[in-house]
Structure 1
Amino acid sequence: MNNTYAAVEPSRGEINALDGAAVVEFGASWCGFCRAAQPLIASAFSQYPSLRHIKIEDGKGRPLGRSFRVTLWPTLIFMKNGREIARLVRPGDSAVIGEALRKITGPS
């Protein structure tokens, strides 16, 4: 699990070209909802220590978040081979996050 929001975001093309399972998380370090969700996300990710987790600092005018139509934080996009499989907005339960993780880490 990645603990730091990246200020420099990858392009949508780079995200779409990802091979295998990945989670793209949009949020901000100062966001209360984002901070509250971190223990839940960490708990769910504990069973997937090698899973790619791309944590993006989002905000007004940030193209990657807009390309995914992100409007609330945190938003987690669960991807497999560059395709969105699941999405959670302001998750309130680590079990729900774990369920989405299983969707992208299981067989195709």
Structure 2
Amino acid sequence: MTSDYTTDEPSRSSLYDIRGPAVVEFGAPWCPWCQAAQPLIAKAFEGLDDLPHVKIEDGKGRPLGRAFGVKLWPTLIFLHDGEEIVRCVRPESAEPLKQALAKIVTSP
């Protein structure tokens, strides 16, 4: 699991080009919702050290989050072979994250 949000936005196509399961997380390091979700995310990601997890700092003037329709932080988008399978917005427990991970890790 990645711990810091990157300010370097990858291209949208590079995220769609990731083969297999991956998670894209939009948020901000100063966001209280994002801070509260980090232990839940860490718990859900236990044992999935090889899973690509891209944490992208979102905010004004950062178009990638808008391209993905992000309105609240944190938003986690669960991809498989570049296709969005499910998303979790402002998770309040690890369970919906684990369920979302199960969907992408077991996808064909």
Q: Which TM-score band applies after superposition, normalised by the shorter structure? A: over 0.9
Q: How does 1:53-92 map to 2 (within 5 A)?
A: 53-92=53-92
Deviations 1:41-85 (A, max 9, x none): 000000312111000000012121011010100000000000000
User: 1 CA distance for matches of 2:14 and 2:96?
Assistant: 27
- Equivalent pairs counted in the alignment come to 108
Give the ranges of 4+ consecutive aligned residues of structure 1 lying more than 6 Å apart after TM superposition: none
Q: How does 1:1-108 map to 2 (within 5 A)?
A: 1-108=1-108
RMSD after superposition: 0.7
User: 2 CA distance for matches of 1:83 and 1:43?
Assistant: 24
Deviations 1:7-39 (A, max 9, x none): 101011111111111000000000000000000
Q: Any unmatched runs of 5+ in structure 2? A: none
SS of 1:84's equivalent in the other structure is strand
Is the 2:85–2:104 contact (alpha carbons within 8 Å) kept by the matching residues of 1?
yes
User: 2 CA distance for matches of 1:71 and 1:35?
Assistant: 17
User: 2 CA distance for matches of 1:63 and 1:11?
Assistant: 10
Q: Any unmatched runs of 5+ in structure 1? A: none
User: 2 CA distance for matches of 1:6 and 1:20?
Assistant: 22
User: 2 CA distance for matches of 1:76 and 1:16?
Assistant: 15
TM-score (norm 1): 0.97
